[in-house]
Amino acid sequence: MDLQIQHQLFIVGGASSGLGKAVAESLIAEGAQILAVARDVEKLKALQALAPHRIEIFAADLSEISTIQPLMDRVGNRQLHGILVNAGGPPAKTVLETTLEDWDAAYKNLLRWKVALTKAFAPRMMQAHYGRILFVESASVKQPLENLVLSTSLRLAVVGFAKTFAQEIAKTGVTINILAPGAHDSPAINRIHIKRSEQTGIPIQEIRNLGKAEIPVGALGNTADFASLATWLLSPIASYITGQTISVDGGSLKTIFG
């Protein structure tokens, strides 16, 4: 299928590893141009080597508001076709383990910058009558997961923001959607396995095997499979989908509308 994104420009957050890197690679494979954003410049350079003429790198922390204006300056007058709003998550903790400082940090690292980034770039997309904004959050926004109270609570706020904004601008040609990944074979799952190991005394590899067994399909998610869906949602073909939260979790959620 031709996704019609050749030569289109995308910002990809968290592009140095995990799901963000997989989406960056998928977009490049489809002929797109990307502005890859992450903190690790060496990993970004390794990504850029895949297609030096179509991958720009921007070493910065997206959760810092001061990053947004330089990022806008880098895009310049070019049309921006899509943004993958993606970054790492907070530490795995139970409610009673959290401090108010943890909640303040989670607000900053999970919600505040995403609102600022979206509000910065959405008007330009609206003026062009085209754009795709895709948030990568967590399956916990549909069903709370143990030890992820900070992630669940603040990502739910992101979903509320994205759904509301999607409705407000639906007629402009700009879509806003949320992907809610479950357990994938990426570095992000490690903090959850480490936490469960600490709580139970069970070795991490056994925790990993138990986690796989709890997933109906019997395996961790493949990041490339996740990226294929993300790339489709970032394409012109997905014009009739907006304001949706789509689970990618191997059937783990027990909710009727999972």
pLDDT 10s digits, 194-207: 777 777 788 878 87
Average pLDDT over residues 129-136: 98
Lowest pLDDT segment from 22-36, 147-161, 177-191: 177-191
Dihedral in degrees, nearest 10, Cα atoms 196, 198, 203, 208: 20
Which tokens sit at 111? Answer: 């919600």
Backbone Cα Rg of the chain: 18
Residue 108 has pLDDT above 80, yes or no: yes
Q: Look at residue 178 in the predicted model and tell me its pLDDT.
A: 98
Instruction: State whether residue 90 is helix, strand or coil.
Output: coil
pLDDT of residue 257: 83
Q: How confident is the model at residue 88 (pLDDT cuts 50, 70, 90)?
A: confident
CA gap 201, 52 in Å, rounded: 46
Q: What is the spatial distance between Cα 216 and Cα 209, in angstroms, rounded to a whole number?
A: 13
Higher pLDDT, 14 or 194: 14
Of 32, 238, 181, 35, the closest CA to residue 117 belongs to 35
Q: How far apart are CA 255 and CA 114, in angstroms?
A: 27
Distance CA 241, CA 180 (A): 15
Domains and their CATH numbers in the chain: 9-182+226-245 (3.40.50.720), 183-220 (no CATH)
In this prediction, residue 111 has a pLDDT band, given cuts at 50, 70 and 90, of very high
Compute the average pLDDT of residues 130-139: 97
What percent of the chain has a predicted confidence (pLDDT) above 70? 100
Q: Which residues pair with 176 in a beta bridge?
A: 133
3-state secondary structure of 152: helix
The pTM assigned to this predicted structure is 0.94
What value does the mean pLDDT of the chain take? Answer: 94
Tens digits of per-residue pLDDT, 203-238? 878 878 877 888 899 988 999 999 999 999 999 999
Q: Which two tokens stand for residue 22?
A: 């997989």
